[in-house]
Amino acid sequence: MTLVEKPLRVIMLGLRGFPSVQGGVETHAEHLCPLLVELGCDIEVIVRSPYQSVKTGYLWRGIRFRSIWAPRSKGLETIIHTLLGVLYAAIKRPDILHIQAVGPAIMAPLARLLGLHVVVTHHGPDYERQKWGVIAKLVLRLGESFGMRYSNARIVISEVIRKIVHEKYGLESELIPNGVDIPKLPNTTAILKTFGLEPERYVLLVSRLVPEKRHHDLIQAFLQATLEGWKLVLVGASDHPDAYAQSLLDAAGQQAPNVVCTGFQTGLALKELYANAGFFVLPSSHEGLPIVLLEALSFGLPVIASDIPANLEVTCSGISYYPLGDLMSLTTQLKKRAQKKLTSGEREHLRQFVQEKYKWSIVAQKTFDVYMTAKKRGIV
């Protein structure tokens, strides 16, 4: 790792908070920031007060948190919090303001106008998410445009997103994919007993309860597959309880007793659920580069995934793809996978795949290099 004599002062903005806050961007920042500190960065992360646990405190693994109020509103939360965060950054004058995701990036022009050196990470075209209405999608498209056009440097997490940026804006960006840590496999099963699960006899999906994750596709296919002795486990919660989340809870009621909703899980409980699953399924219609897919592989789990471009970008022999929304194909895949038990050697092969290709230490070094580029461009 490259060390610097004088700390590079970085403020990160655009996420709810961490550690143990649900969301791909949040997981990304939770793993990335401590490594940036090791590289010599002085990191301050602006978090949203409704989400950040007071138990975390203001200092965690060398990272300072600045908790700023945000309304608990799906439509207003991001834009208001980001505006306040940019104004705070303008007062603090960091070397780099790193904005995460295209929604918050709508404030990139203001940040530049205030004299800040801005890096934007594009985690995916969020305007394609099913949960957003017409106005919200327009704002997200503007956020993408402003973030890409007005930043000093651009990071994308997949080749698919890099092509979007080049084709729409004629701009180059730095491809830095998500990473994954290779976990130590737990030897406990306490959470399994809580939900009545047996090791290697359940299908797992970990995600927020939002429409683009297409939980209902998986529930329907699982019921059609009639896997004797198996359960379907849905791990995750909704940031803003709504009709979709309630529909999933209803589906996991008396009509489908083999479908288990565990709510949001983290720490050892989540590790136990990953480590003891039979296999993992990701039926999403929208992803950037799914961290949960990498996490599943890091636990040695075979994966069934929809054939969207972001999922196809993870080229691993342990992943089986099916056409998005094709319930018959998904049902067939579930039946086939349930009949095949991987050996310990095959599981270890999957773990080695992600260890070699997706390392957070490499992600951190490349991000640091982008910071240095953006700082120089801002000075010129």
How many CA within 13 A on the CB side of residue 84? 15
pLDDT band at 300 (very low <50, low <70, confident <90, very high): very high
pTM of the predicted model, to two decimals? 0.88
CATH number of 8-179+359-375: 3.40.50.2000
Note the pLDDT tens digit of each residue in 157-194. Answer: 999 999 999 999 999 999 999 999 899 999 999 999 99
Using CA atoms, how far residue 271 sits from 17, 24, 221, 360, in Å, is 20, 17, 25, 18
What CATH class is the domain 190-357? Answer: alpha beta
Angstrom distance (rounded) from CA 159 to CA 161: 5
Please give the pLDDT value at position 1.
53
Contact at 8 Å (CB) between 123 and 25?
A: yes
- Given this model, what pLDDT does residue 3 score? 52
Q: What residues does CATH 3.40.50.2000 cover in the chain?
A: 8-179+359-375, 190-357
pLDDT in tens, 48-75: 999 999 999 999 999 999 999 999 887 7
Q: Is 14 strand, coil or helix?
A: coil
